[in-house]
Amino acid sequence: MLMVVKRGARGVYRKAVFVVVYRIYEKKVLYLTLKRKLHWKGWEFPKGAIEANEPLSKTARREAFEESGLKVLSIKKFNFSGKYKYHKTFIDRPGFFGQTYSLFAANVKNGRVKLEKREHSAFKWRYFDEAYKKLKWPNQKKSLRIVNDYLIKKLERGNIK
């Protein structure tokens, strides 16, 4: 797999997407959280590298499906992105010292979650407050808040069910 990279002042950033996966249940938003076991331990939402010549929205759709096994009904790109440095060197990411990301949300069809077992050991659907508390990294917490604020406004207007 060829990945897209972005050269920074001190090295190479791996280009990726964050995908906040959600579904609507009884007029409330549930978020899919995944228990990470590869590279670090803790709760997160799906994310992954952009492949060469792959549009960002296709990456988001692919990552949401690969890491959950759920059918993606719709994808929304947010005007939020960032970057971070890895806390250590990863053997499977030679030459990369960090990652950039663009934020997406994926509305998925309810169904059986099928984890990508190499990266995650468990999953749990959570309402915003619980999901927010469980996320480990500040950039993921901010991403979840952005998506939640957007979805709550849509729910209040009756634009999603």
Furthest CA-CA distance within the chain: 48
Q: Say what the pLDDT of residue 97 is.
A: 59
Indicate the pLDDT class of residue 149, thresholds 50, 70 and 90.
Answer: very high
Superfamily classification of domain 5-157? Nucleoside Triphosphate Pyrophosphohydrolase (3.90.79.10)
Give residue 55's pLDDT.
93
**What are the b/e assignments for 64-74, b being 16+ CB within 10 Å?**
bbebbebebee
Residues 96-115 have pLDDT tens digits of 556 788 999 999 999 898 87
More confident residue, 58 or 52: 58
CB neighbourhood size of 36 (10 A): 17
Q: What's the pLDDT score for residue 158?
A: 85
Q: In this predicted structure, what is the pLDDT of residue 116?
A: 75
* Domain residue extents for the chain: 5-157
